[in-house]
Amino acid sequence: MNQASTQSEPLKPTEKAKSQIISSKKLLTIAGLGWMFDAMDVGILSFIIAALKTDWELSATQLGWIGSVNSIGMAIGAVFFGILSDRIGRKQVFIFTLLLFSIASGLSALTDTLSIFLILRFFIGAGLGGELPVASTLVAESVPANKRGQIVVLLESFWAGGWLLAALIAYFVIPAYGWRMALILTALPAFYAIYLRINLPDSPKFTQSQEKGLKLSFAAKIAMVWSKPYFKQTLMLWVLWFSVVFSYYGIFLWLPSVMVGKGFTLIKSFQYVLIMTLAQLPGYFLAAFLIERIGRKLVLMLFLTGTAISAFLFGQADTATLLVIYGMLLSFFNLGAWGALYAYTPEHYPTQVRGTGVGLAAAFGRIGGILGPLMVGYMISFNYSITFIFAIFAVTIMVGVLSVGLLGNETKQTELD
């Protein structure tokens, strides 16, 4: 059993930590709104890529770089802000990252050149990459062990709400008012989430660790994450994050463009992607229902296997009906797996390096997010079939399944130290 979860008796909260405890529902709502606006930005990017191809006459390779630069920013943001959250607290980083990506997203609506657009996408990615692991860490440290997995998966379910809003904006706003208006609409609501977070208390466990003087240097944190007690779970998490992020961003950022490539109009492809996106919510809810009943490992393995099969079938689909069915299954299983991934990752490390451990795993995953969209762009430009491309994603996801099965520990309802 891993060291992060073998405390014979949970640490009792200090008086200051007690004063910072917030109800699970309120925390879920505040964190979830920010998560939803993050998803709106990522979701709208997939639709904007399809629109920019026409507006700026971009090649498939250039379109691939838009998604990849976003992931480069996410990788750097995950490392930097993950480490920073172990030093100054989860809350402060939580607020700053949302502010960073919101401002950059709004400014990107004003640019007329691909180079400036890519620079702003880097900063958007940095904010997004920093916020997501820090948010899941904050929530995981603030709720009871018997509800932790379920609450974190429900937090991740706000991502589906953000994608749905992005799909609605893409379907109704982009054809009539253009992609710039869509970007402005996705940036503005995030400032409301920042307002809500001002009075949000920090993680009680982080507060305890600060009061007890449990501080480590940057080098010591990296060394601890890869030390013998955590080596196996760190290796497993890095492989898992890479396989999930590589497939997710490679598939979903290109989904509207793939639909256009299969012969559908831009508006029709937006409509189909909207329908597919609806399947994300039941995927999250089923994962949330199962995660405290059958455990993290089994939920991850089941949902990732479903994702791999759906990706393979989607690549072979040649009718609108099959595309929508397999696309809905792909959304259902993939996003359910994401929820379990965010619940599972923080449970492998102690408090003083939890943000660092989660951030490093997420950052390594973002390398997959860089390579996935680029691979699709280059392979399309060299006339590789969609069937072959999606088969690659299916195989990659199964590598993640094997890493969980062979190296993963079950962390269901364990107390975080």
Could you tell me if 333 and 393 are in contact, meaning their C-beta atoms sit under 8 angstroms apart?
Answer: no
| Contact criterion met (CB below 8 Å) for 102 and 194 | yes
Alpha-helix runs per DSSP H in 317-350: 320-344
Rounded distance between C-alpha atoms, residue 142 and residue 144, angstroms = 7
Using a 10 angstrom Cβ sphere, with 0-12 exposed, 13-18 middle and 19 or more buried, the burial of residue 229 is middle
CA angle 367, 368, 370 (to 5 degrees): 65
pTM of this prediction?
Answer: 0.77
Pick the CATH number of 22-197+228-407 from 1.10.3450.40, 1.20.1250.20, 3.60.20.10, 3.30.1360.170: 1.20.1250.20
Does an H or E element contain 44, and which?
Answer: helix 24-55
Other C-beta atoms lying within 10 Å of the C-beta of residue 101: 30
Residue written as tokens 């690659």? 392
- Concatenating the DSSP letter of every residue in 107-158 gives HHTT--SHHHHHHHHHHHHHHHHHHHHHHHHHHHTTS-HHHHHHHHHHHHHH
pLDDT of amino acid 267: 60
The four Cα atoms 361, 362, 367, 370 give a dihedral, to 10 degrees, of 170
Euclidean distance between CA atoms 352 and 225, whole angstroms: 11
Q: What is the pLDDT of residue 13?
A: 47
Domain boundaries, the chain: 22-197+228-407
Amino acid, single-letter form, for residue 94: F
Cβ atoms of residues 296 and 346 within 8 Å: no
Interatomic CA distance for residues 338 and 353, integer angstroms:
22
Contact status, residue 173 vs residue 185, Cβ threshold 8 Å: yes
Question: pLDDT tens digits, the chain, 417 residues: what are they?
Answer: 344 444 434 444 444 444 444 577 888 888 888 788 888 887 888 778 878 888 888 887 788 788 778 888 988 998 899 888 888 888 888 888 888 888 898 899 899 889 999 999 999 989 988 888 888 888 888 888 888 888 888 888 888 888 888 888 888 888 888 889 988 887 776 677 677 677 777 778 777 777 666 667 778 888 999 999 999 999 999 999 999 999 988 888 777 777 777 777 666 677 777 788 788 889 989 999 999 999 999 999 999 999 999 999 988 887 878 888 998 999 999 989 998 998 899 999 988 888 889 889 988 998 888 888 888 888 888 888 888 999 999 999 999 999 999 999 998 877 766
| Cα(417)–Cα(415) distance, integer angstroms | 6
**What pLDDT score was predicted for residue 309?**
97
